[in-house]
Amino acid sequence: MPRVTEIIREIILPQGYFDHADPTKGTFLHQAIAWWLNGELDETSLDEKLRPQFEQFVEFWQEHKPGLIFVEKHLVHPAGFEGTPDMFVILRILNKPEYSIIDIKTGGPEPWHAIQLAAYQALVYDNYKELGWPKGYNLYLRQNGYRLKEATPLEIHNGWKLFQAGLGIYQWRQAMKE
C-alpha cells in the first residue's frame, strides 16, 4: 500500500525534485519532537544542527498549548493509501477549540504541502469520523522563529483532488505491472 509521501514524490512532483534535500534532517527532528512530547527525549543527545528548529517547536508548543491526541501515528485509508501524520491536536484559535492536523516543515512553504496536508486530513477523518473534518496547518520551523499557516479550504480542496489523481495513477501503474 503506498504512503502519502511516496505518491507525492513518485507521481505528483517532477522527477528529481528532492535530489538536493537532506531527508534525514526532517526525520530526526520529527523523532526528537515525538520523543519530547512523550517525555522520552534526552535533550543532551539532540544533534546541535536540529536544536534551533527543535527550540522553535518547543516555543510554539508553549505558546499555543495544544491538546495532543496523537503524534506520528500510522493510519490507513480505505481508498488504498497509508500515512503517518505528524500530529493530531486540539488547537485553540481565537479561543475556539479545533481538531487540527499539524504537519511540521523545516523549509519554507511549497505548493505541494497542501496536497500532503489534504491526504493527512482524509486519513485522520476516516479514522476519527466522530470528531469531524480536522483543520490543517503547516508548522514551519526556522532558525529564528516559527510560522503556523492554516491551509485554506481551496488549497485543501485542490490538494485532495491532486492527491486522488496521483493515487489513481499510482494504482493504475501497479495494476499494469501485474
Say if 113 falls within a structural domain: yes
Residue 74: inside a domain: yes
Spatial separation of the C-alpha atoms in residues 40 and 53, rounded to whole Å: 18
H helix or E strand, kind and range, residue 120: helix 113-127
* Position 48 in a domain: yes
Tens digits of residue pLDDT in 89-102: 999 988 899 999 99
Query: Residue 137 belongs to what domain range?
Result: 4-12+22-177
Number of structural domains (the chain) is: 1
- Is residue 17 in some structural domain? no
Which of these, 67, 76, 126, 122, lies nearest to 99 by C-alpha position? Answer: 67
Quick check: 30 and 86 in contact, CB under 8 A?
A: yes
C-alpha distances (whole Å) from 118 to each of 27, 95, 136, 148 are 20, 24, 8, 16
Residue 91 falls within a domain, yes or no? yes
Burial of 123 (0-12, 13-18, 19+ CB in 10 A): buried
**44, part of any domain:** yes
Within a domain: 173 = yes
For 72-120, what is each residue's pLDDT tens digit? Answer: 999 999 999 999 999 999 999 888 999 999 999 988 899 999 999 999 9
Confidence of residue 154 (pLDDT cuts 50, 70, 90): very high
- pTM, two decimals, is 0.92
Give per-residue pLDDT as tens, 24-52: 667 889 999 999 999 999 988 898 988 99
31 domain residue, yes or no: yes
